[in-house]
Amino acid sequence: QKALNIYKLRRPIIIENLNNLNVCFCSTNNLFQQQTSSKTLINWTSDPRVPNFGYRSLIENEGENCLEFNQNLEKEYISRRYNWGIGEGMEIIDQIPLAMNGDLLNGISFDKELISRTYHSGIVRRRLMPFKWLFNDSNKMPEDLTLKDEKGQRQGKLITSNGKFGLCLISVGLIPENIFIRLFDSNGRALEVWRPNWWPKT
């Protein structure tokens, strides 16, 4: 709140800390209606990043019940994000915005010189893609994040994982549309990578 107040610049804007409100996510309209039926719904809207990805709602905080409500939705939200190939927050903070699909998610301001030049004249050779582990014991990320193909050639790297699904940075030319490609981490564990179906068709 203090940081935001610095940028008011004498504008007639009021910035308040609303601890009594929570932002929640639901993947479908039916689930959204079920989950918020017992809550005080303030407002809701479709997620602006990808069509049909889900809904964001603003509800009143109801103590422990709302905490459990948020935790359940957070697990669903993370799994859905990974399955759709959408990164956010600390997962991608040190990555190149274009490689993290920022241009496809309406998340980049192209008035910045470096990003604009890369977007209009360069080639994005690697992009963030979803993957699924092909074995059960996948809770720990390896220290070496390198991903290789069956010939042992490096094709990308792991970004994050929740134990079943995850995100990786992969060479775009390696993954055709509607095809699952098998890769291996540094411990030899197999995973399948695919292009998100919301990407523009080539």
Residue type, 79: S
What are the residues whose beta carbons fall under 8 Å from the beta carbon of 31, sequence distance 6 or more? Answer: none
pLDDT at 34 over 90: no
Gyration radius (Cα) of the chain, Å: 20
**pTM for the full model?**
0.81
Encode pLDDT of 57-113 as tens digits. 888 876 555 555 566 778 888 999 999 999 999 999 999 889 999 999 988 877 766
Query: Nearest Cα to 85, choosing from 188, 16, 150, 175?
Result: 175
CATH tag for 91-193 (out of 1.10.760.10, 2.40.30.160, 1.20.272.10, 2.30.40.10): 2.40.30.160
Higher-confidence residue of 140 and 98: namely 98
Q: How far is CA 8 from CA 2, 5, 18, 19, 27, in A?
A: 10, 5, 18, 21, 35
Specify the domain boundaries for CATH 2.40.30.160 within the chain: 91-193
Query: Nearest Cα to 147, choosing from 91, 193, 180?
Result: 193
Encode pLDDT of 146-201 as tens digits. 999 999 999 999 999 988 899 999 999 999 988 999 999 998 999 999 999 999 98
Starting from the edge strand earliest in sequence, which strands make up the sheet with 41-46, in order?
A: 21-26, 55-60, 41-46
**d(Cα 5, Cα 2) in Å, to the nearest integer?**
5
